[in-house]
Amino acid sequence: MIFGIGTDIVRTERLKAAVEKWGDRFLKRVYTDGEIAYSYKKSNPFLSLAARFAAKEALIKAIGKRTPVAMTDIEIVNNEHGGPSISPKGKLSIYFDQQKIQQTHVSLSHENDYSIAFVVVEK
């Protein structure tokens, strides 16, 4: 059964400007160490960072305002097939257990100017 659906779009330049202005302070507040490492292995890390930011926002929309979620409690990882998936951490993991969330589906896409994410949460 579908618990929630969310989507978000992020302008890459806006994300890049935030990283350039706030540096590690911004990165550590929004991303896990794994997400930062993954993104900075890419030739343009801002595309991956923007797509992951969009996925985090899409997940927050999918679960609604039922519980406050720290951005670092949402980790976007690659599954065994290379596709994106959500690894809940901290309070989000507890919330998923309480709500009996069984699975999340994530779709990411990016072009030079924009990144978009779509998330479906199943109960």
The amino acid occupying position 67 is: T
Strand ranges (E), 1-123? 2-11, 74-78, 84-88, 103-110, 114-122
Concerning whether 89 is annotated as a catalytic residue, the answer is no
Concerning whether 81 is annotated as a catalytic residue, the answer is no
Q: Which of 16, 61, 89, 105 is catalytic?
A: 61
Q: Which of 56, 89, 110, 123 is catalytic?
A: 110
CA distances from 18 to 15, 49, 53, 84, 105 (A): 5, 11, 12, 23, 27
By annotation, the residues acting in catalysis are 61, 110
